Structure 1
Amino acid sequence: MREEDQDLSSDPRPTVLLGRRLRFEEAPGLAMLLLGKRGAALKLDASEVSELGTPCLQVLLAAAVTWRTDGEAFSLANPSPEMLATLAQIGLDAGALNSEGRPE
């Protein structure tokens, strides 16, 4: 996972590019990365995700709730087909990982 230097669209939010494999061993690092971004709007680029394990999904869901509670925007951009399939298997869609933040 790494922070993108340039956003993929006109969206001014910082973008974090998620890694290809989000498995058990990546969950602590993902959690720390996201905690370091808390307090500001954030976009996650999920275009390269080929594996999404339950622990990383839990981290992402908790982050979405945290950002929503904080009133900050949190979004998942470009989810890969593999990520969408994993979410669908457990009855979720990419919208579960989005928060609009505070109204202007």
Structure 2
Amino acid sequence: MSALDGANSITLPDDLSGAFCEALKADLLARRGQPLELDASNVVRCGGQAVQLLVSAKRSWASDGQPFAIVNPEADFIRIVQLTGLQDELFPESGADT
């Protein structure tokens, strides 16, 4: 069952590099104003640009009053986000900082 009932869902690829960021940005913009869930179960590589994009998206959804969640984060993805210092931004409820 989805963490966000009725949410749109995007399954993120294993490599969130700069090349994928433009496509993800367009997909996010197309879904703005609706609940959104990003499945991060495949992500093992992620660049700083992608982390910044995800933080920006989460903030945008919050300002719109819409639910936004990143679910099933792979351990490698969590470690990358921790290195940026933005784990509390993306995973405030998960305790991913341990």
Q: Which residue of the partner structure matches residue 82 of structure 2?
A: 88
Equivalent residue for 1:51, pick from 45, 50, 74: 45
Cα deviation, residue 87, structure 1: 0.9
Off by >4 Å, runs of 4+ in structure 1: none
Tell me what 2:2 maps to: 9
Q: Which runs of 5+ in 2 are unaligned?
A: 93-98
Match of 2:96 in 1: none
CA distance in 1, matches of 2:61, 2:91: 9
Distance of 1:55 and 1:74 partners within structure 2: 19
Per-residue deviation, 1:66: 0.5
In 1, Cα distance between equivalents of 2:85 and 2:64: 25
1:76 and 2:79 are equivalent in the alignment: no
Q: What is the distance in 2 between the residues matched to 1:84 and 1:65? A: 19
TM-score (norm 2): 0.84
Paired residues of 1:74 and 1:98 also in contact (CA < 8 A):
no
Which 5+ residue runs of structure 1 have no aligned equivalent?
1-7, 100-104
**Which residue of structure 1 aligns with residue 55 of structure 2?**
61
Higher relative contact order (CA 8 A, sep 6+): 2
TM-score normalized by the length of structure 1: 0.79
